[in-house]
């Protein structure tokens, strides 16, 4: 039997989502099952079995995982030791001399590796790469044994300037690996050969901290799959939105830090691109936060690093996600100066909004949506059978209405307007502030909460339209199936452009290229094509912030053709102009890092297989009406079953479209159209547009 | 100034107000972010020693300010804008941009280059946009401009009064030429100037869009309402404190010229919704550069207040219920041309005494003193090819113990949000090698919640031609204080190698012209933070953990906490 099934699995806090694609027929199916704890492999397999009876037919299982993120946030990684350069054992704890919050001077920092498990050894490399003190191997061995005796399961080797010359680190690693009882040895120059010791040390130490936990988890999953006749490939989504083999994930688990959200953004890019919108801003509204990403020309913006928590920096290319504290559970309150605020305090999903009746008595954004009739109190959300509208009304009256002198509905609308305005701020943050005109973009809400606010965000930010995917709740699982395989490399070069050794640079590019191609080949996955991308981090001498400079490079028969200094300089000037709008006349430029990406393009599937079937019709979709408060008054508003709407249906606002995992609000003056893939496209209504 | 409703303001509904508050904050934040990304010198790009905001058309008072800039600028920028308003005396045109660094009228020190752009709407000044950034070098006797032996501003830097850099949209190249001829690092300065102009352009464009969307009257009404709201918030916070009068005193080591301690005294009186701070009894203006202008002093009070009440916004309304007495002739109200280069040290001490004073009134609202010195260390020289290099950086220390827990190890100064450059970046840019970058055991003040640890930085000169060192620090004689019964932290110690011997500066924490040969080192051992609450109340298990981690030596643990920790085991 041929292996034709591709399966994407996203394990969330409440539900495990599964997306199954049959590459032979183009048919797609979805499943949603409860997440099992503590061993998530139960729900993982149950979700797959809900749609697939024979695992022998599965070509690949791709997993977007939050195991790494959660282990970091909950500080549940392994007991980890550090071996480092004499004089620098505290670099990891000293951070970059920051503090948790600007104002208040409060808050402590507890490093993931305590001071007594950070051991110094004699060794020193200079910034030019010269070995000033060769590494003392006997000291490394003694340090390793001391850490084992202290109960360490993982260890990181963190030497100063190892980005410039990795010799001392490599020798220490060889000595240590000779007797360390497991593969959990992280070496800073292997993980991230890039200048900036704290960022490199932090990334490598967090990697070591995650290795036992994440590789144990992935190993359990893989064994359960194999025990069910699964003979295909098991792949993991990275924070950069590409997938990697499970072996790579076990070696470099720190690359999974944003695995789950990255998969969602990748799917959003594909869905929107297919629907004809290559430029979108995605918004994921959860209980406590609103996460926004920008996709331009079908490409998600990548950020060079992120902080998982104060002082916990991971430096790896990752999908750029801007987060603000305005989720459904964010609390609305009026400060002593009379200003209405939303968040940052949140009721989350437990206890959740007042209407959940679980003990929170301060109003949230979701409570305002319930009071205004936008969420149907009779439809279960968050596992609650029936929402307590009266409690929500009382909370809004007490905490917002009285201090502002407004009625209950007006107060609820005020909460929504301020929340929308904060969400619009996040959209502007990733678009206007980066030089993108929002008019060119479509907004795509995914996850459960966002579609209620999509229409308002069109009005607030001037985005052209909103696109609500057919299954917003399983976007991340779908992204797993769509994601390309991607390997990123970095190497600090640190040279003046005018003196750059372009031959040596080409040799590094060749090395990255060959290593990436070898990893693609080893993964046993079929690709529709391959891409290689080179970028240089460059700046004028004296600047510390660099500009990413895409470098066009020819690769005849897989051999890198060396770039010229003139070509590099002109690419820099193009990139710098695009970023800052002015060049520095006569400025001397410098190349800091080479970044390379080797990408195996996965075959894409036809999203129209998800579209509504022939039995969908307006009649089948009609669900009557209910009063919804909009623009200052109650309107009797039509309710539709979203999944039963046929292709081409146009619903003019005000209207509510319901489906199991989300509610869509079409505001007065707007219309929603079902496109041929089943997406709902919301835009300002055209004259003469009406239900058909 | 009064607490009444703003006069002549249009009415604004609370929802539009909340929306506009966020939009205007975002404009200022975006100006900050633009300069951080495009600036040339690491003091702005990495340390974020810069700030942007919107200021009142007539008074220059702060209306909105970016959240990511340097905290001290939150209060001081209003004085810079006021200086330009006074100088222009009504003669302003659309498209003008003024520039100056004169610290006596604009606050802080001469390294801070201020650009002010009147923003016009319908032919009238609607508000001002301003940008301030710390330039790498602005001339003077010492590279980097921290000259502890200056007795006049002229030895610190060149002084530029407010002049038009851009006149009705035309860049005045003459002014640019003067600026660039007065710095050791013209390329860096030009890059920073460009970045600041870019930030102002962006602010103006965003304000255009906002006014087009909401109308000028609505935006103006929102600005008035925000100022009123800031005042109400401040009154409410003050009212929650107990009434009474308290005093506190602390000292600066010296002024760098004469080795005499300089008292900083404050008396705080709380009465209902009003709070008065009186600095009578503070030392007179000094010959050396630890003076500050009156504007800087008021800005510093603002920073202290905002640390105690983080909920207060960056808006001049906050200061209305606060009365300030700064004695004439004191080092907190210095007159031109008294030197002000070391202003950071003086305002850090002001914050320390304000915290120590308020700790007597409301110990749950404050933390113990942080390390209390910026430790501006400059190592400079020439390379074999004659090129000049200047490695200039500020160094960190511990934060104070807090009501809820221990202080932060190795944090940044309360007046700053600056991060420290990575040592690998410093080593790759300058001919030096760090031989130590570590926490400093026994540097924190003991207490129920001890202070955070200070640091040890040791730097060796690699350049064959040697180098010269300059230090501007403090807390060499008077340690950061504990509060609520907590103990004091360790002193700041600076040492340098000279002919095989370690030496210390005669002025303890300040020195110019330290000659360093290749292979010689300097070492900074910075203070931790003071302790919070009595050391006797600290859990023996917490003391045992501190000893196990090497934060506290066994000897000091015995001396400060008694032997109980030895029973617990590590």
Contact (Cβ atoms closer than 8 angstroms) between residue A647 and residue A616: yes
- pLDDT value of position A609: 81
Q: Does B388 touch chain A (CB under 8 A)?
A: no
Lowest mean pLDDT segment, chosen from A164-168, A304-308, B206-210 = A304-308
Q: Which residue has the tokens 């085991």?
A: B569
**Are residues A544 and B42, on separate chains, in Cβ contact within 8 Å?**
yes
**Are residues A544 and B46, on separate chains, in Cβ contact within 8 Å?**
yes
Q: Does A462 touch chain B (CB under 8 A)?
A: no
- pLDDT value of position A613: 86
**Are residues B458 and A87, on separate chains, in Cβ contact within 8 Å?**
yes
Q: A340: nearest CA in chain B?
A: B18
Cβ-based neighbours of B99, under 8 Å, separated by 6 or more: B113, B114, B115, B116, B160, B162, B163, B164, B165, B175, B179
- Same structural domain for residues A593 and A494? yes
Q: Which of residues 401-460 of B touch A (CB under 8 A)?
A: 402, 404-412, 414, 417-425, 427-428, 433-439, 452, 455, 458
The pTM assigned to this predicted structure is 0.91
Let me know the angle formed at the C-alpha of A376 by A372 and A379, rounded to the nearest 5 degrees. Answer: 155
Nearest neighbour of A87 by CB, restricted to B67, B306, B435: B435
Query: Does residue A322 form part of some domain?
Result: no
- Same structural domain for residues A488 and A592? yes
- What does each C-alpha distance from A671 to A271, A612, A643, A652, A689 come to in angstroms? 20, 19, 17, 4, 8
- What is the value of ipTM here, to two decimals? 0.92
Residue B8: is its pLDDT beyond 60?
Answer: no
Q: Which of residues 112-151 of B touch A (CB under 8 A)?
A: none
Band (B216; pLDDT cuts 50, 70, 90): very high
- Same structural domain for residues A583 and A616? no
Residues B473-494 have a mean pLDDT of 98
Q: Does A303 touch chain B (CB under 8 A)?
A: no
Residue A521: is its pLDDT beyond 60?
Answer: yes
Tell which of A200, A233, A261 closes a domain: A200
Query: Does residue A65 form part of some domain?
Result: no
- pLDDT value of position B2: 35
Nearest neighbour of B236 by CB, restricted to A336, A422, A580: A336
Tokens of A413: 């609308």
- pLDDT value of position A67: 85
Residues B152-162 have a mean pLDDT of 95
How far is C-alpha A396 from the geometric centre of its chain's CA atoms? 33
- pLDDT value of position B7: 36
CATH number of the domain within which A547 lies: 3.30.1490
How far is the C-alpha of B144 from the C-alpha of A155, rounded, in Å?
41
Residues of chain B in contact with residue A419, where contact means CB-CB under 8 angstroms, are none
Rg (CA), chain B: 24
Nearest neighbour of B367 by CB, restricted to A98, A106, A494: A106
A192: closest CA among A439, A635, A490? A490
Backbone dihedral angles phi then psi of residue B8, each to the nearest 5 degrees? 70, 5
Total number of domains in chain A: 4
Strand B376-382 versus strand B388-393 pairing type: antiparallel
DSSP assignment, residue B506? Answer: T
Let me know the angle formed at the C-alpha of B345 by B340 and B351, rounded to the nearest 5 degrees. Answer: 120
- Same structural domain for residues A499 and A590? yes
Query: Does residue A446 form part of some domain?
Result: no
Band (B10; pLDDT cuts 50, 70, 90): low
Please state, as a whole number, how many other Cβ atoms lie within 10 Å of the Cβ of residue A402. Answer: 12
Residue A689: is its pLDDT beyond 60?
Answer: no
**Are residues A161 and B424, on separate chains, in Cβ contact within 8 Å?**
yes
- pLDDT value of position A125: 98
Residues of chain A in contact with residue B363, where contact means CB-CB under 8 angstroms, are none
How far is the C-alpha of A16 from the C-alpha of A545, rounded, in Å?
40
Structure confidence by residue, pLDDT tens digits, A428-457: 888 877 777 888 899 999 877 789 999 999
Structure confidence by residue, pLDDT tens digits, A266-288: 999 999 999 999 999 999 887 77
User: Which domain, by its residues, includes A380?
Assistant: 330-420
Cβ-based neighbours of A605, under 8 Å, separated by 6 or more: A6, A21, A23, A26, A28, A481, A482
Residue B269, strand partner residues: B245, B276
Distance from CA of A304 to the nearest CA of B (A): 14
DSSP three-state, residue B414: coil
B511: closest CA among B522, B500, B525? B522
- Same structural domain for residues A516 and A565? yes
Distance from CA of B10 to the nearest CA of A (A): 17
Residue B18: is its pLDDT beyond 90?
Answer: no
Residues of chain B in contact with residue A582, where contact means CB-CB under 8 angstroms, are 194, 198
Q: How many CB pairs below 8 Å do chains A and B form together?
A: 206
Q: A92: nearest CA in chain B?
A: B438
Band (A289; pLDDT cuts 50, 70, 90): confident
- pLDDT value of position B6: 37
Structure confidence by residue, pLDDT tens digits, A217-267: 999 999 999 998 899 889 999 999 999 999 999 999 999 988 888 999 999
Residue A334, strand partner residues: A340
Structure confidence by residue, pLDDT tens digits, B366-399: 999 999 999 999 999 999 888 888 898 899 999 9
Query: Does residue A398 form part of some domain?
Result: yes
Please state, as a whole number, how many other Cβ atoms lie within 10 Å of the Cβ of residue B1. Answer: 11
Q: Which residue has the tokens 């797993």?
A: A480
Q: Which of residues 57-86 of B touch A (CB under 8 A)?
A: 67-68, 71
- pLDDT value of position A212: 96
- pLDDT value of position B3: 36
- Same structural domain for residues A574 and A624? no
Query: Does residue A142 form part of some domain?
Result: yes
Structure confidence by residue, pLDDT tens digits, A97-108: 999 998 999 999
How far is C-alpha A195 from the geometric centre of its chain's CA atoms? 25
Contact (Cβ atoms closer than 8 angstroms) between residue B516 and residue B469: yes
Structure confidence by residue, pLDDT tens digits, B56-108: 999 999 999 888 778 888 778 999 999 999 999 999 999 999 999 999 998 88
HEC profile of A310-349: CCEEEEEEEECCEEECCCCCEEEEECCCCCEEEEEEECCC
- pLDDT value of position A69: 84
- pLDDT value of position A670: 94
- Same structural domain for residues A346 and A390? yes
- Same structural domain for residues A595 and A659? no
- Same structural domain for residues A196 and A83? yes
Q: Does B363 touch chain A (CB under 8 A)?
A: no
Query: A90, A117, A123: which to substitute to probe chain B, counting the most B Cβ within 10 Å?
Result: A90
Tell which of A420, A435, A460 closes a domain: A420
A143: closest CA among A113, A176, A114, A165? A176
Tell which of A582, A601, A620 closes a domain: A601
Distance from CA of B522 to the nearest CA of A (A): 15
User: pLDDT averaged over chain A?
Assistant: 90
- pLDDT value of position A23: 79
Q: B416: nearest CA in chain A?
A: A102
Query: B428, B458, B523: which to substitute to probe chain A, counting the most A Cβ within 10 Å?
Result: B428
Residues of chain A in contact with residue B31, where contact means CB-CB under 8 angstroms, are none
Backbone dihedral angles phi then psi of residue A632, each to the nearest 5 degrees? 95, -5
Q: Which of residues 87-116 of A touch B (CB under 8 A)?
A: 87-91, 93-109, 114-116
A473: closest CA among A658, A615, A346, A622? A658
Band (A384; pLDDT cuts 50, 70, 90): low
Residues A377-403 have a mean pLDDT of 86
What are the structural domain ranges in chain B?
Answer: 14-230, 367-538
Let me know the angle formed at the C-alpha of B294 by B338 and A99, rounded to the nearest 5 degrees. Answer: 105
- pLDDT value of position A287: 77
- With the C-alpha atoms ordered A230, A233, A235, A241, is the resulting torsion angle positive or negative? negative
Please state, as a whole number, how many other Cβ atoms lie within 10 Å of the Cβ of residue A170. Answer: 17
Residues A400-424 have a mean pLDDT of 94
Structure confidence by residue, pLDDT tens digits, A527-586: 889 999 999 999 988 777 788 999 999 999 899 999 999 999 999 999 988 877 678 777
Residues B201-224 have a mean pLDDT of 93
- Same structural domain for residues A492 and A597? yes
């Amino acid at each position: 039997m041929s292996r034709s099934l591709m399966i994407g699995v996203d394990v969330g806090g409440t539900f495990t989502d599964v997306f199954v694609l049959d590459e032979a027929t183009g048919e797609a199916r979805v499943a949603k099952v409860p997440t099992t704890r503590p061993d998530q492999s139960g729900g993982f397999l149950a979700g797959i079995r809900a749609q697939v009876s024979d695992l022998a037919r599965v070509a690949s299982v791709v997993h977007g995982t939050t195991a790494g993120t959660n282990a970091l946030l909950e500080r549940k990684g392994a007991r980890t030791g550090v071996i480092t350069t004499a004089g620098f054992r505290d670099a990891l704890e000293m951070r970059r001399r920051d503090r948790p919050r600007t104002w208040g001077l409060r808050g402590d920092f507890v490093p993931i590796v305590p001071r007594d498990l950070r051991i110094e050894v004699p060794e020193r490399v200079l910034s030019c790469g010269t070995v000033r003190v060769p590494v003392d191997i006997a000291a490394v061995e003694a340090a390793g044994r001391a850490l084992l005796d202290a109960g360490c399961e993982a260890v990181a080797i963190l030497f100063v300037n190892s980005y410039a010359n990795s010799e001392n680190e490599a020798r220490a690693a060889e000595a240590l690996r000779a007797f360390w009882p497991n593969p959990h040895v992280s070496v800073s120059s292997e993980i991230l050969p890039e200048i900036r010791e704290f960022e490199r040390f932090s990334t490598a130490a967090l990697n070591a901290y995650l290795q036992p936990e994440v590789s144990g988890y992935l190993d359990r999953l893989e064994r359960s799959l194999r025990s069910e006749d699964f003979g295909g490939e098991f792949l993991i989504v990275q924070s950069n939105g590409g997938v990697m083999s499970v072996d790579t994930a076990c070696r470099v688990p720190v690359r999974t830090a944003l695995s789950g959200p990255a998969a969602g953004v990748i799917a959003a890019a594909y869905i929107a691109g297919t629907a004809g919108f290559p430029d979108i801003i995605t918004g994921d509204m959860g209980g406590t936060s609103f996460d926004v990403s920008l996709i331009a020309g079908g490409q998600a913006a990548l950020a060079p690093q992120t902080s998982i928590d104060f002082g916990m920096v991971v430096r790896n290319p990752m999908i750029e996600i801007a987060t603000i504290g305005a989720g459904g559970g964010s609390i609305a309150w009026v400060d002593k100066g009379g200003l209405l605020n939303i968040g940052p305090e949140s009721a989350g999903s437990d206890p959740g909004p007042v209407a959940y009746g679980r003990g929170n008595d301060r109003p949230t954004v979701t409570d305002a949506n319930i009071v205004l009739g936008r969420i149907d109190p009779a439809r279960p959300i968050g596992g609650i059978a029936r929402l307590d509208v009266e409690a929500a009304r009382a909370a809004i009256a007490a905490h917002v209405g009285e201090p502002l002198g407004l009625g209950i509905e007006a107060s609820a609308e005020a909460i929504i307007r301020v929340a929308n305005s904060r969400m619009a701020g996040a959209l502007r943050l990733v678009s206007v502030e980066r030089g993108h005109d929002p008019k060119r973009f479509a907004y795509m809400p995914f996850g459960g909460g966002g579609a209620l606010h999509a229409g308002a965000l069109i009005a607030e930010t001037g985005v052209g339209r909103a696109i609500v995917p057919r299954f917003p709740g399983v976007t991340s699982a779908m992204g797993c199936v769509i994601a390309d395989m991607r390997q990123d490399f970095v190497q600090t070069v640190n040279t003046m452009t005018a003196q750059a050794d372009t031959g040596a640079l080409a040799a590094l590019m060749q090395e990255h290229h060959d290593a990436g191609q070898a990893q693609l080949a080893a993964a046993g996955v079929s690709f529709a094509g391959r891409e290689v991308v080179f970028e240089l981090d460059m700046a004028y001498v004296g600047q510390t912030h660099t500009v990413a400079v895409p470098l066009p490079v020819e690769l005849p028969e897989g051999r890198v053709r060396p770039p010229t200094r003139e070509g590099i300089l002109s690419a820099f000037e193009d990139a710098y102009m695009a970023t800052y709008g002015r060049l520095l006349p006569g400025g001397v430029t410098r190349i800091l890092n080479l970044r390379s990406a080797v990408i195996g393009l996965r075959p894409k599937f036809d999203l129209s297989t998800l579209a509504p079937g022939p039995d969908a019709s307006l009649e089948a979709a009609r669900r009557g009406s209910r009063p919804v408060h909009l623009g200052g008054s109650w309107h009797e508003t039509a309710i539709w079953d979203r999944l039963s709407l046929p292709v081409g249906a146009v619903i003019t606002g005000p209207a509510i479209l319901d489906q199991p995992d989300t509610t869509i609000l079409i505001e007065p003056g707007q219309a929603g159209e079902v496109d041929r893939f089943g997406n709902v496209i919301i835009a300002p209504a055209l004259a003469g547009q009406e239900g058909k | 100034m009064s607490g009444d409703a703003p006069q002549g303001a249009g009415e604004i509904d609370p929802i539009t107000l909340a929306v506009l508050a966020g939009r205007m904050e975002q404009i200022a934040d975006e100006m900050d972010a633009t300069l951080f990304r495009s600036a040339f010198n690491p003091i702005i790009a990495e340390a974020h020693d810069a700030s942007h905001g919107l200021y009142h058309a007539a008074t220059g008072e702060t209306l909105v300010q970016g959240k990511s800039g340097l905290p001290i600028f939150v209060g001081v920028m209003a004085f810079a804008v006021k200086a330009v308003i006074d100088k222009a005396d009504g003669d302003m045109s659309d498209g003008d941009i003024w520039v100056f660094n004169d610290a006596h009228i604009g606050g802080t020190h001469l390294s801070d280059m201020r650009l002010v752009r009147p923003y016009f709407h319908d032919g009238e000044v609607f508000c001002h946009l301003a940008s301030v950034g710390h330039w790498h070098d602005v001339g003077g006797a010492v590279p980097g401009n921290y000259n502890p032996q200056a007795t006049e501003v002229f030895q610190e830097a060149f002084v530029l009064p407010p002049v038009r850099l851009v006149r009705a949209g035309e860049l005045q190249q003459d002014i640019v030429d003067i600026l660039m001829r007065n710095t050791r690092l013209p390329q860096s300065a030009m890059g920073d100037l460009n970045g600041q102009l870019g930030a102002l352009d962006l602010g103006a464009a965003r304000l255009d869009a906002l006014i087009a969307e909401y109308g000028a009257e609505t935006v103006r009404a929102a600005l008035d309402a925000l100022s009123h709201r800031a005042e109400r918030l401040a009154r409410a916070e003050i009212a929650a404190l107990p009434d009474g009068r308290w005093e506190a005193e602390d000292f600066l080591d010296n002024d760098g010229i004469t080795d005499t301690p300089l008292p900083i005294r404050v008396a705080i009186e709380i009465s209902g919704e009003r709070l008065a701070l009186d600095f009578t009894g503070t030392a007179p203006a000094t010959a050396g550069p630890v003076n500050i202008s009156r504007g800087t002093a008021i800005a510093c009070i603002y920073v202290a207040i905002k640390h105690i009440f983080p909920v207060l916004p960056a808006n001049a309304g906050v200061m209305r219920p606060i009365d300030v007495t700064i004695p004439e002739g004191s080092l907190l109200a210095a007159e031109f041309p008294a030197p002000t280069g070391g202003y950071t040290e003086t305002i850090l001490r002001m914050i320390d005494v304000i915290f120590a004073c308020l700790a007597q009134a409301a110990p749950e609202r404050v933390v113990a003193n942080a390390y209390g010195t910026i430790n501006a260390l400059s190592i400079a020289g020439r390379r074999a090819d004659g090129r000049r290099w200047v490695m200039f950086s500020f160094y960190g220390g511990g934060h104070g113990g807090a009501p809820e827990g221990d202080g932060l190890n190795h944090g940044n100064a309360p007046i700053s949000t600056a991060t420290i450059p990575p040592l690998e970046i410093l080593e790759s840019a300058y001919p030096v090698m760090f031989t130590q970058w570590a926490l400093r055991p026994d540097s924190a003040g003991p207490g129920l919640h001890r202070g955070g640890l200070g640091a040890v930085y040791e730097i060796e000169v690699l350049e064959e031609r040697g180098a010269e060192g300059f230090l501007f620090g403090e807390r060499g004689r008077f340690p950061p204080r504990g509060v609520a019964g907590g103990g004091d932290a360790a002193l700041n110690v600076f040492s340098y190698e000279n002919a095989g011997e370690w030496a210390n500066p005669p002025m303890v924490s300040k020195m110019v012209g330290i000659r360093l040969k290749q292979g010689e080192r300097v070492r900074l051992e910075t203070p931790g933070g003071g302790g919070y609450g009595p050391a006797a109340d600290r859990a023996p298990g917490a003391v045992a953990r501190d000893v196990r981690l090497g934060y506290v030596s066994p000897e000091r643990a015995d001396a400060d906490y008694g032997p109980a920790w030895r029973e617990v085991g590590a």
